[in-house]
């Protein structure tokens, strides 16, 4: 991953320089109400929560709830990026709408 600053141009006489900054951000691919099937090792680390969980909310932690027992658990961002989880069913797909662009102004 590269974070950097690129010099666009500089004027030596007036001592003015313009720079363009770049940032790289990775966003958690999980959404609220996504259904996950946790690996056994991850479920054990999170306090023996059930392996089928729902994402309750995402803030500075990812909050899970077991829909069968109501047990809750949290996962830190560091733990998530060490072992990324992918949803079995995502709630975001059901809210997506397909649009066709016929023209532009």
pLDDT higher for 105 or 58?
A: 58
DSSP string, the chain: ---EEEEEEEETTTTEEEEEEE---------TT-EEE--HHHHHHTTS--SEEEEEEESSSEEEE-TTT--EEEE-HHHHHHS----SB-HHHHH----------
Q: pTM of the predicted model, to two decimals?
A: 0.66
What confidence score (pLDDT) does residue 10 get? 60
What confidence score (pLDDT) does residue 1 get? 40
How far is residue 53's CA from residue 39's CA, in Å, rounded to a whole number? 11
The model's confidence at residue 25, banded by pLDDT at 50, 70 and 90, is confident
Residues 36-92: tens digit of each pLDDT: 999 999 999 999 999 999 999 999 999 999 999 999 999 998 999 998 888 888 776
């Amino acid at each position: 991953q590269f974070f950097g600053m690129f010099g666009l141009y500089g004027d030596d006489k007036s001592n003015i320089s313009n720079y363009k900054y770049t940032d790289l951000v990775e966003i958690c691919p999980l959404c609220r109400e996504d259904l996950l099937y946790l690996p056994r090792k991850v479920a054990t680390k999170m306090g023996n929560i059930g392996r089928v969980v729902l994402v309750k909310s995402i803030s500075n932690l990812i909050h899970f709830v077991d829909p069968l027992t109501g047990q809750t658990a949290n996962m830190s961002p560091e733990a998530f990026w060490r072992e990324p989880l992918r949803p079995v069913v995502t709630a975001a797909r059901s809210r997506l709408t397909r649009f066709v662009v016929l023209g532009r102004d």
